[in-house]
A and B are shown apart, each in its own frame.
Chain A
């Protein structure tokens, strides 16, 4: 009992420090703040269930990212959630300041949602999360070359996305 309490206390500290980061990453993957919270909660739940193993790995954040991506993949597979065109929920997200920023955030996420899931995952890890090509490849289980090509295609699509054309950003 005491072990369980101690484990949960240790995990709570781990989770509080990483929650903002992971839920934002989930948001980049889902485009919906509600889904992002569900996804991040699922990832942390799995992490706590596997806590004895997770706490011993060298890079728990990489482990957490992997859980998140797998959970996101399962979300599509099990619930048949629409993969594209999910409208971001305006009221669920708070932005640091200004309506203009809110618009920019929304159009960027809307543009990300137009990408295929694999390309979206590459963009989310590589640019949103700031990983290297090698780290991204390791998490996605592909080569660095694949990451490079997927990122290139994704950025090319984003550049011509009507959501990101300056002056035409309305929702």
Chain B
């Protein structure tokens, strides 16, 4: 082999290799952890300086300074393989920040003391390509760790969960009423970046880039092992004013799919806002083009709808849609489309009112005002 042949062979080699998907969320999580550690170190140093300046005479007789902060340090999460107890029930257990937890599911049942986290299992229909489904016990007004339950599609033997602090949990499921399930608990500060599902032969079946919402993680978008996500991350806010109070719908698009977040308030005066997020897969992967109308399927009502004194209607529309008229029993409301991440969204935010309303239909228009399609669908 000549030197030229050798050079050519080396230079041609990279083009023949398929790279794995870019672990964007994992890298962002690791970078956040690095920054958090740096901030924690800096804060601790400042605290020592401040205390030393003020209270050295007092501390001098107390002993060495001990900082018990565990921010960013060490492995935060561990998960044990599920066990079967003497009664034949299944016990999931592990620890989060050193604090142990366990849940027990009685044999033949699907409920636990945690309520319906593990049940009931009827009605789960995994979407196309979806290998797992995630649910959590997130509670707003506590700082307790978040407990997740993951159920796996038949044929999935185990799942790896990548956390935003760089940890990876390898979950072995146990069958609860014929459905493979696993559980784990994470501290509030730790999110989920990715879930990878494996078959019995150890090969990757599918993976999902998780969306870490303000509350918990959601899995909407699944990829084949040889697929590389290409959807860039983008975000925007659709705003309205209801009763003089801002009512916003945040839209995030990316390799995780499309996610909508509203801030739930019990009333316009309620100071406590609780984020509520729903996610859907990117349309190109799941939504067939309809025979008529916009270039994508007519919108579903994907936005979390209930604030509960205002309601958000609509969501993703075809790129040819300029605006949508929402015909409600209380009147017609027009929503112009907003472009976020290469997609078009039409969201109508209206006051719910004491008597509520019913949907009469929706009309989709293009930029020249021509009707693209009419959808007489009383959805809400």
Contact = CB atoms under 8 A, between A and B. Distances in A.
Nearest to A37: B20
A101 B21 CA distance: 21
B17 A24 contact: yes
A130 B28 contact: no
A12 B11 contact: no
A5 B30 CA distance: 15
Contacts of B230: 16
Interface string B230-253: 101111000000000000000000
A27 B17 contact: yes
Contacts of B23: 37, 41
Interface string A132-163: 00000000000000000000000100110000
Contacts of A45: 27, 30-31, 34
For chain A, which range describes its interface: under 10, 10 to 19, 20 to 34, or 35 or more residues? 35 or more
Interface stretch (B2-10, B259-267, B280-288, B317-325): B2-10
B7 A127 contact: yes
A165 to B, nearest CB: 8
Contacts, number: 100
A123 B10 contact: yes
B10 A101 contact: no
Contacts of B9: 104, 108
Nearest to B203: A91
A140 B301 CA distance: 55
Given A94-B226, A127-B7, A12 B232 contact: yes
Contacts of B35: 49
B17 A95 contact: yes
B125 to A, nearest CB: 31
A76 interface: no
Interface of B: 1, 3, 6-7, 9-11, 13-14, 16-24, 26-28, 30-31, 34-35, 226, 228-230, 232-235, 254-255
Given A48-B27, A94-B18, A166-B1, 16 more contacts: A9-B232, A13-B232, A15-B24, A16-B229, A21-B14, A24-B14, A24-B19, A41-B27, A95-B18, A96-B18, A105-B13, A105-B17, A128-B11, A130-B11, A155-B3, A155-B6
